[in-house]
Amino acid sequence: MDTETKQNRQVKLLNSATAFVVVVGAMIALFTKGDHMARLKLAIGYGLLILIFLFGLMILLEIASGKIDLSLLLSETSGGASMSRFQLLIFTFVISLSFFLLVAQSGQFPAIPPEVLTLLGISASTYAVSKGIQASGVPPKKRNGNEKATTEDQPQ
């Protein structure tokens, strides 16, 4: 599939999603009971929810099909997996899952204690510092574990 056809398909998809959201919003605004403000709030709420869901679903499908490539998500420039990236991924997952559970349980935005910020701060700082160290002393990319690199791999 050439680039123009692909772009046309994406534009059509986006137009369809927007039209769907507008139709759902209009139906809710027209056919629900209550005063004007309540109906407007409901229509905007449903419209935004559906729009965000469609965007999220598109990204998920692209990741699942491999069009958004995550194969190097945990890789360092030297080729192996990065421990700093791995721990940041774990903590991001844990905090986001906890956040979602708390919001779902209480139905409101929870207070975020300093411990959570400290935990994420430590994790993200380690990633940033590790990346800085790696960039300062980057060994050339190895091909298979301890396999020796050729002279082509050496930095100029």
Looking only at residues 38 through 97 of this chain, which bind another protein when binding is defined by CB under 8 A? 42, 45-46, 49, 52-53, 56-57, 60, 63-64, 70-71, 73-75, 78-84, 86-87, 89-91, 93-97
Q: Residue 68 to residues 29, 64, 65, 128, 155: CA-CA distances in angstroms?
A: 37, 8, 8, 23, 29
Could you say whether residue 100 binds another protein (CB under 8 A)? yes
Which member of 2, 4, 35, 115 binds another protein (CB under 8 A)? 115
Neighbours of 40 (CB within 10 A): 14
CB 47 within 8 A of CB 24: yes
Which member of 2, 3, 31, 136 binds another protein (CB under 8 A)? 136
Site size for another protein, by CB under 8 A? 71
Least distance from C-beta 8 to another protein, angstroms?
Answer: 27
CB 25 within 8 A of CB 40: no
